[in-house]
Structure 1
Amino acid sequence: MTSPIDPTGLGGTLADVVAALGRAQAPSGDQSEQEPTIGRGEAADGRVRVRAVLPGRIENLELDPSVLRLSGEEFARAIESAVNMALADLQGRAVATAGAADLGALTDQLKDIQFNAERQFTKLTVSLVEAQEQLTRRAGDR
């Protein structure tokens, strides 16, 4: 007679996945959770510097005095370029941060899956053992 299927293998695998996701979600020691997301941009060889913050606002605009020697059109393009770079940088950082938050939701979903899979697999194993015992009894009755 074969032994019943052991459901701990499936549970162990899912537990490993949940643990790995938890480790990946844990904040690194280099970055504080309270640190705001900031985008940075530069133009005109670093003479125009911009800092952008969520939800897409310009927090700071720094101009080197030498940038005032540019023509009005060049000056406007430098500011536009630096602002666009800062906003693009901010967007990239915000998407990366949002990805980490989604990982937390995924971890919770995997925990639910692990719980339900273990429960269902145990039910299946019990049903298979009962069916096997019934077949054995019927074969003995003949």
Structure 2
Amino acid sequence: MTRPIDSSGLGGTLADVVAALGQAQAASGDQKAQEPPVGTGEAADGRIRVRATLPGRIESLELEPSVLRLGGDELAQQIEAAVNAALADLQGRAVTAAGPADLGALTDQLKDIQADAERQFAKLTTSLIEAQEQIARRAGD
């Protein structure tokens, strides 16, 4: 007699994948618990100040009134320099906040999960073949 097909092993395998990814994320630092990084930049001797946030947006641009005496091209270059400095600072802080990821351990866990999934699929396939053969035998009776 054919055993009933038990799909709980497949659901468990998917749960294992989710758990492994969750552990990898926790190991690299819980980003939700941390304040998002902010980059800052200045130009024109500190008279232009910029704050940048993820995903690379300018949060604020402060200009002291004295910078308005600069020519248009010079002002644009100084603003560009402050923005680029803030974005570079943000990039450095984001990389530091992310921390190193242990991809080797995650890869090993996923390989184990893959092997388990292959066993589960083999069992499922065997059960389906047995059920098909039983149906064919009954049809021949």
TM norm structure 1: 0.49
TM norm structure 2: 0.50
